[in-house]
Amino acid sequence: MSMRMVEGNLDGKGLRIALVVGRFNDFISQRLLEGALDCLRRHGVADKDMTVARVPGAFEIPVAARRLALSRKFDAVVCIGCVIRGETSHYEQVCAEVARGIASVALEAGLPVTFGVLTTENLHQAIERAGAKGGNRGWDAALASIEMVSLFRNLE
C-alpha cells in the first residue's frame, strides 16, 4: 500500500497576495515588508497582484486581514508588524490578541493567513529578525503563504 504525500511548491506565479502591515515600530515593519515583497517577487508574484494595506499597529492587523481574506480577491494574506516589550506596557495582551486574531482569520476564511509579526523583548532582537543575522521574518511569512496556497490547491 502506498501513501499519498501532498506538499506545496514555491512558485508564486499568478498568485494574488495581500499584505497587512502595522505602522507602529515602522522602522522595523518597513524592513519586514521589504523582505516580504522581495520574496514574493523572487518567487514569481507580479507587483500588480500584490496589495499592501497599512494599519496603525499590530492590534489592527487581524481585522484588516479578515476583511481582505473574506473578500476572496486574494489567495493569501501576509500579516506583518512588530511589538517590542519595552515599547508597550501591555505587551502580553497585544501579542496574544494579535496571534489569536490572525489564527482566527485563517480558520474562518479557510485561506493561508501567515504570521510575520515580530514579538520581541527589545529593539536589538527586532532588528536581528528584520533582516540582520536572524533573517527576515517578513520574507519567511511571504514564503509560507506561497507554499500554503500551493498545498491547498494540491489538496483539492
pLDDT value at residue 111: 97
Classify residue 100 as exposed, middle or buried by CB count within 10 Å of its CB (0-12, 13-18, 19+). Answer: exposed
Cβ atoms of 76 and 106 closer than 8 Å? no
CB 109 within 8 A of CB 103: no
The pTM (predicted TM-score) of the whole model is: 0.95
Pairing of strands 50-55, 113-120: unpaired
Q: Grid coordinates 499597529 are at which residue? A: 57
* CA-to-CA dists, residue 46 to 10, 54, 147, angstroms: 14, 19, 16
Are 43 and 150 contacting, i.e. CB atoms less than 8 angstroms apart? no
Q: What are the residues facing 55 on neighbouring strands?
A: 22
Domains of the chain: 17-150 (3.40.50.960)
Rounded Cα–Cα distance for residues 105 and 68 (Å): 10
- Residue 124 is a catalytic residue: no
* Residue matched to cell numbers 486581514: 65
Q: What is the structure's pLDDT at 143? A: 98
Q: What pairs with residue 54 in β-bridges? A: 21
Cell of 156: 483539492
Active-site residue (options: 13, 42, 90, 124): 90
CA distance 143 to 125: 21
Per-residue pLDDT of the chain (156 residues; tens, 9 = 90+): 789 999 999 999 999 999 999 999 999 999 999 999 999 999 999 999 999 999 999 999 999 999 999 999 999 999 999 999 987 778 999 999 999 999 999 999 999 999 999 999 999 999 999 987 779 999 999 999 999 999 999 998
